Amino acid sequence: MEVTDSLKENVMNHIRPWITAGVTLVGASAVAVSPVTVVLPEIQGPAAQAFAIQLTAADIVLDLVRHGQSTENVTDYIGTTAPGAPLTDLGEQQAITVGEQLYNGGDNNISGVWASDFLRAQQTAWPLVGLLAGNSDYNQIPDGPTPLLDPSQILSGLGEINAGWLEGQSGTIPGLLYLLPTIAWMTGNYWVPMLGSSINPNGMAFQDNYSGAIQTIYDTSTADPDNDGSDVAFSHGAAIMAWTMMNVKNPDWGLFLETLAGDRGLPNTGQVVVEGNPTDGWTLVSWNGQAVDAQPDLLTSLFVDWRDLITAPQMASWHIWEALLTGDPSEFFNAIGQGAEQVFSALVEFPQAVIESFVNAFSDLGAGSSLDTSDLLADLTGALAS
């Protein structure tokens, strides 16, 4: 028997009081052992409405496209400082090909085209921008200098992850050392440093930078209520992979490892498509042409629950540190208040998310087999309510 949404809701309604009680006890225990009386800021937003019905924001479809082959790609040179190297002849042909594919003879629903501040990304975007504008010379890609596109289409946050001390090195070993911190970020360990980088010194800074660019794309795309098209952003391999795996609800580690083993990353003009919004989150639609199931398996779902829990205090701490460096007391205390809200929200939502992951897994199991899961969930509900 398939588990219905109403049964899931019934289960969650029974366990919410237990979750709330557990969080309350933990908070009371912390206060009891504290030698100092601390007046916390008023909790608002997600934390205060943790179990309330949440309004969902409008979704967009975002196609993240890696740039074409650059002159640095040929020699495995690590160049992560804008404006960077130009495309090779092959890279220009790749840009024309992907532009024509996305344009699809005019049959497309592209609402906006974006690129990083790197020359190679803007050159790769050039053919698509020209095709959408009706230019017959779209295949005449300029050599530079930047900017090649309208400044409003260029977002520095879409740039490559700065390599710090590895900048300018070549070869397999430096390349792998460059990828290691980004893989740690994908597992929720944002604190792992990119040594020597002042742009992306850690995963927290990268998350802020890249997500800030995504937020700009989202805000621009949804400013027109009649706009239901998709956006295309030309970016960089490591940055696309890292942000996607750090943020989507259904990261596909199999596809990521397969990509890493094959080309040590997303191939030139490879694409990753996501759908969603910055408020409710993002779902991975396809990775380098391969469709991804929107509903993750149990282990992946539990990983995402844990990732979202452990990254909240890391982001809060980073924002507090940045506010402290400004020397502005108001910014510092605002950061503390917002950080406390975000961490509290993550703590409250974590047990609920875990239970939902199990319930969804039982639901999928019941829908795909002859196993009757209704009795199992009924027993779970009864035990939690007794």
Q: In whole angstroms, what is the distance from residue 15 CA to residue 21 CA?
A: 10
Indicate which residue of 72, 92, 160, 341 is catalytic.
160
CA 317 to each of CA 17, 30, 162, 212: distance values in angstroms, whole numbers, following the listed order: 30, 19, 22, 18
DSSP 8-state secondary structure symbol assigned to residue 36: S
- Two structure tokens written together for 226: 């009649």
The Cα–Cα gap between 284 and 275 comes to 7
Q: Please give the structure tokens belonging to residue 308.
A: 């979202």
Cα–Cα distance measured from residue 157 to residue 5, given in angstroms and rounded to the nearest whole number: 39
Can you give the C-alpha Rg of the chain in angstroms?
A: 23
SS3 assignment, position 176: helix
Beta bridge mates, 230:
61, 110
Of 2, 9, 14, 67, the catalytic one is: 67
Is 67 a known active-site residue? yes
Instruction: Look at residues 365, 19, 368 and name the one whose alpha carbon lies nearest to residue 377.
Output: 365
Asked about 160 being catalytic, the answer comes back as: yes
Torsion (CA) 310, 316, 321, 325 in degrees, nearest 10: 150
Contact 105, 44 (CB under 8 A): no
CA separation for the pair 127, 87 (Å, rounded)? 13
Q: Name the residues annotated as catalytic.
A: 67, 160
